[in-house]
Amino acid sequence: MKQNNKYKIKQAALCLFGLKGYEDTSLHEIASSVGIKKPSLYNHFESKEEIFTSVLDDLLVTEETAYKQLKETMKAGFPKDNLRKLFDLYCQRLMTTEEALLWKRVTFFPPPQFKRLIEEKFFQFEQSITSILFDIYEDGSKLNIFREVDKIEFSASFLCLVDGIFLEHHYYREDIFQKRKNSVWKVYTLGIFRDKGE
């Protein structure tokens, strides 16, 4: 029961930190959304800062796990399909997970005391994605599917594309967002692939 509450505190904090930011979320809010009083939080965590770092650690583990699983399923597929799978997983997680909102907020506007920590996590996460992209590029090069685009350009433009989508998901309605996503994907694939269609 106590352990259950610790988990519920982290879930509540994940949502609230994502919605309102670290400073604008009070311990009172976190506690009351769990159904306990503020001082009881200190039975599970030493400080507000520890709640945050704990939530952030969990978040990264969740994301890393999702992309590691993807990497496994990609072994059998063609590079073009794998790239699309990576794109789809990214968009799907962006739209459906509680983690995405907090991740957006802290990579963009880290609370000053956590800036270093968040940068480390960010580069670690980006490394995972880049390693998948490099694998796809190597496989695709052997099949000669790419236009005159090197590995770095291929990866950088993919990451910039998903960063843009990441941002646009925030301020467009769902239907407009879907159209945007499709347009952007079309132009990207026109840019990198030798053959227009499949």
Contact positions vs DNA (CB under 7 A): 1-2, 5, 25-29, 31, 36-40, 42-44, 47-49
Task: State the nearest-atom distance from the C-beta of 109 to DNA, in Å.
Answer: 17
**Residue (14 or 165) nearer to its own copies, CB:** 165
User: Residue 132 carries which side chain, given as an amino acid letter?
Assistant: I
Looking at this protein, which amino acid is placed at residue 114?
A: F
With CB under 8 A as the contact rule, the residue among 108, 124, 131, 178 that binds its own copies is: 108
Which residues, including other chains, have CB under 8 Å from residue 64's CB and lie 6 or more apart?
124, 125, 128
CA distances from 164 to 91, 132, 144, 157, 161 (A): 11, 19, 28, 10, 5
Site string (17-36) toward its own copies, x via CB under 8 A: ----x-xx------------
Question: d(Cα 155, Cα 38) in Å, to the nearest integer?
Answer: 46
Intra-chain end-to-end CA distance of the chain, in Å: 54
Picked from DNA, its own copies, none, the partner binding residue 39 (CB below 5 to 8 A depending on kind) is DNA
Q: Does 49 bind its own copies (CB under 8 A)?
A: no
Which three-class secondary structure state does DSSP give residue 147? coil
Tell me which residues touch its own copies (CB under 8 A).
21, 23-24, 104-105, 107-109, 119, 122, 147-149, 152-154, 156-157, 159-168, 170-171, 179-180, 183-184, 186-192, 196
